[in-house]
C-alpha cells in the first residue's frame, strides 16, 4: 500500500517490517504528547490530557481488535491462523506486521486522530499480511475479502510536522513565483536565479524570462 505522501524518499505504508519498539499505551500516549509539544503543536481539540478517557478507549479498541481477528480467522482462514499480539506503536500513521514476533502494531497517533475506521482499516491490512507479505494483487484481493478497503493510511499531525521539519532541514530556501505565486523549495539560494517553469512555458514559449524569476517567499 503506497501512501500518497513522502517524507524524503521514505514511503509510508500501512505496513513495514520495522523492528517494533514495544511500549505500553500509557508510555506511547505520553510520547505522543511530548512529540506534539516538541513541534509546538497545540492539539487541544484532541483532549490528550484526559488520560482516563484515552487509556480506557485505547485498551477497549485493542480488545475489540482481538475479537475482530478471531472472527476473521474463523470466517476466512478456518481458524488456522495463530492469534497475533496487537499493540500500539510509535509510527506516525498506519502500522506494521512483524512476522518474527507475530505482532501487529498500529499507530497510536493515527488512532487518536482518526479513530476506529482507520484503526480497523490498518488492522485488516496487517491481518492480510500474516498470510501474504507483499503488496501483490492477491494481497489486495484478500484484504478486500476480509473487509478492508485498501485505502492509503491517512495523514496525521505528526506526519505532517515531521515532513515539514524534513523539508526545512533539507530544502531550507522557500521561494515563490512573483507572477502565479506558486511556492518552491530548494537546497540553496541559487534558486533565486531560476524562473518559474510553468509561467515561462505559458508566457515566454518555454524560454527563461526574468519577469518570472523566483523571489524569497
15 binds Zn ion (CB under 5 A): yes
Q: Does 5 bind Zn ion (CB under 5 A)?
A: no
Interaction of residue 91 with Zn ion, rule CB under 5 A = no
Q: Does 196 bind Zn ion (CB under 5 A)?
A: yes
Cα gap 139→106, rounded to integer Å: 19
- Measured CA to CA, the distance from residue 137 to residue 131 in angstroms comes to 13
- Interface of this chain with Zn ion, residues 121 to 180, rule: CB under 5 A: 177, 179-180
CB 126 within 8 A of CB 15: yes
CB 71 within 8 A of CB 88: no
- Distance of alpha carbon 139 from the chain centroid: 20
Task: Please report whether residue 213 would count as binding Zn ion according to CB under 5 A.
Answer: no
Burial class (CB in 10 A: 0-12, 13-18, 19+), 160: middle
Q: Which is nearer to Zn ion, 29 or 127 (CB)?
A: 127
Nearest residue to Zn ion, scored by beta-carbon proximity: 15
Does 16 participate in binding Zn ion (rule CB under 5 A)?
no
Q: Count interface residues toward Zn ion (CB under 5 A).
A: 9
Interface region with Zn ion, contact rule CB under 5 A, candidates 9-17, 27-35, 47-55, 152-160: 9-17
Q: Can you tell me which of 14, 114, 163, 213 binds Zn ion, judged by CB under 5 A? A: 14
Residues in the chain: 217
* Smallest gap from residue 15 Cβ to Zn ion (A): 3
Q: Alpha-carbon Rg of the chain, whole angstroms?
A: 22
Contact 175, 197 (CB under 8 A): no
Toward Zn ion, which CB reaches closer, 47 or 183?
183
Q: Does 199 bind Zn ion (CB under 5 A)?
A: yes
Q: How far is the CB of 118 from Zn ion (least distance, A)?
A: 14
Find the part of the chain contacting Zn ion (CB under 5 A) among 17-25, 73-81, 113-121, 189-197.
189-197
Q: Which of 66, 67, 10, 54 shows the shortest CA–CA distance to 28?
A: 54
Q: Is 69 exposed, middle or buried (0-12, 13-18, 19+ CB in 10 A)?
A: buried
Residue (127 or 199) nearer to Zn ion, CB? 199
Q: How far is the CB of 156 from Zn ion (least distance, A)?
A: 17
DSSP annotation of 97 reads E
Point out which residues bind Zn ion (CB under 5 A). Answer: 1, 13-15, 177, 179-180, 196, 199
Amino acid at each position: 500500500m503506497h501512501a500518497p505522501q513522502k517524507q524524503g524518499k521514505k514511503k509510508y505504508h500501512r505496513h513495514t517490517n520495522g523492528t517494533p519498539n514495544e511500549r505500553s499505551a500509557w508510555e506511547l500516549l505520553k510520547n505522543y504528547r511530548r512529540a506534539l509539544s516538541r513541534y509546538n503543536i497545540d492539539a487541544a481539540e484532541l483532549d490528550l490530557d484526559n488520560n482516563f478517557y484515552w487509556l480506557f478507549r485505547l485498551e477497549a479498541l485493542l480488545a475489540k481488535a482481538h475479537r475482530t481477528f478471531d472472527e476473521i480467522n474463523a470466517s476466512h482462514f478456518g481458524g488456522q491462523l495463530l492469534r497475533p499480539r496487537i499493540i500500539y506503536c510509535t509510527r506516525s500513521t498506519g502500522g506494521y506486521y512483524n512476522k518474527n514476533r507475530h505482532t501487529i502494531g498500529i499507530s497510536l497517533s493515527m488512532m487518536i486522530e482518526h479513530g476506529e475506521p482507520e484503526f480497523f482499516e490498518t488492522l485488516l491490512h496487517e491481518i492480510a499480511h500474516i498470510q501474504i507479505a507483499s503488496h501483490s494483487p492477491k494481497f489486495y484481493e484478500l484484504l478486500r475479502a476480509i473487509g478492508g478497503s485498501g485505502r492509503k493510511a491517512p495523514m496525521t499531525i505528526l506526519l505532517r510536522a515531521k515532513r515539514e521539519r524534513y523539508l526545512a532541514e533539507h530544502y531550507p530556501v522557500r521561494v515563490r513565483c512573483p507572477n502565479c505565486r506558486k511556492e518552491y523549495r530548494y537546497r540553496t539560494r541559487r534558486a533565486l536565479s531560476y524562473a518559474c517553469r510553468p509561467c515561462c512555458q505559458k508566457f515566454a514559449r518555454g524560454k527563461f524570462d526574468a519577469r518570472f524569476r523566483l523571489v524569497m517567499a
